[in-house]
Amino acid sequence: MDTLFVIPQQLVHQYWCLAIPHLQRALDAGNGEFTIDQLKLFTAEGNCILLLVLNQEKKCTCALTIQWVTYPNDRVCYITYIGGTTSQEAWNQFVEWVKQNGGTSIQGSTKLKAIERLWRIKWNMKPKYTLMELKL
């Protein structure tokens, strides 16, 4: 059975080693917004929340960081980075945790069409926006 763990801010440094391999792959697929050390600091300072999925053997199979974004009509759990593999069981635990924390939706961004397709098929997520940027 896979289990989702929400890592308290004060324990990020203690558990970060479990997240590194998974989050590094996610960062490698990104656009260079963070290095792994910058993401660790950003998370340890409370700007993100670290969540880990552990299997029965207590091996970390997935790591993700999230941020809460509050709009007038929604409280969004935004997945900033996710790496590894997770079961439907762990995803359901994540969805329930989001609901228990007042979340009304879960969002995430990707530049890879394969990940967009995966999120659509595996987790029933639907595209909402395409993020565009002018780098200055």
Backbone angles phi, psi at 115, to 5 degrees: -70, -40
**How far is residue 108's CA from residue 77's CA, in Å, rounded to a whole number?**
8
CB 20 within 8 A of CB 38: no
pTM value? 0.90
Q: Which tens digit of pLDDT belongs to each residue from 6-40? A: 999 999 999 999 999 999 999 998 888 999 999 99
pLDDT at res. 135: 65
Residue 134 — pLDDT band, cuts 50, 70, 90?
low
Please measure the distance between the N-terminal and C-terminal CA atoms of the chain and give it in whole angstroms: 46
pLDDT at res. 119: 79
Domains belonging to the chain, first-starting first, are 3-123 (3.40.630.30)
**How far is residue 84's CA from residue 130's CA, in Å, rounded to a whole number?**
24
Q: Which tens digit of pLDDT belongs to each residue from 122-131? A: 888 888 877 7
Q: Is the pLDDT confidence value at 106 over 70?
A: yes
The set of residues, in sequence order, having a beta carbon less than 8 Å from that of 26 and lying 6+ positions away, is 81, 82, 83
**How far is residue 113's CA from residue 57's CA, in Å, rounded to a whole number?**
32
